[in-house]
Chains A and B, each alone.
Chain A
């Protein structure tokens, strides 16, 4: 079993739709959580950190459930420019390692 798992998609949604991504992690010592987006053949870019209390940035909302060991990302009112791969990232202090999920591909259609 992979340490960080994501639904690979792809998710195909129309403009204006709401889409949710989930990510599960297996290491209970995981400490910090992030969502990155990666455009085709580009480097990953930080989208948002994920806090225990949940956090929101405009159309994007991230939540963390430590008991069930998953994090989620909700995108409201999808734009064409949201088309990208969304990467779930987990870090843990024990091994000073950062683990990326394989990513979920999102296509937003006009």
Chain B
């Protein structure tokens, strides 16, 4: 079975631009979560979606938004990029909500903002 997939794998953007990151969960998983990880730190929770609805949100500005589609895939959007948004963006899927089930991570999208 295919694991969690993310696209693109690497991305270079300029300050002020917009970016869209994509994630496809493991088949049968209904929940997708997004995380930001900077070097030397653990992943920081951004959003959780379950059955196409937002169930949780971390302490990130409104420039960050996401959505989940009927096929359970998800997009993370970041507007007005800042240098500090440079990080590894991880997507994780789980069968139900993260409070009940283990999460499985994709390989991540490495975003560099110049």
Contact = CB atoms under 8 A, between A and B. Distances in A.
Contacts of B48: 96-98
B99 A43 contact: no
Given A43-B105, A44-B105, A99 B45 contact: yes
A31 B99 contact: yes
Interface residues of B, number: 24
A41 to B, nearest CB: 8
B13 to A, nearest CB: 20
A19 B55 CA distance: 37
A3 to B, nearest CB: 11
Interface in A34-52: 34, 42-46, 49
Interface of A is mostly: strand
Given A43-B108, A103-B42, A95 B103 contact: no
A7 to B, nearest CB: 13
A92 B48 CA distance: 13
Contacts of A71: none
B102 A95 contact: no
B106 A43 contact: yes
Interface string B29-41: 0000101000011
Given A44-B90, A97-B58, A98-B48, A91 B99 contact: yes
A100 interface: yes
Contacts of A102: 40-42
B97 interface: yes
Interface of B: 33, 35, 40-45, 48, 55-56, 58, 90, 97-100, 102-108
Given A43-B105, A98-B45, 9 more contacts: A43-B90, A43-B108, A44-B43, A87-B43, A96-B55, A96-B56, A97-B56, A98-B48, A100-B43
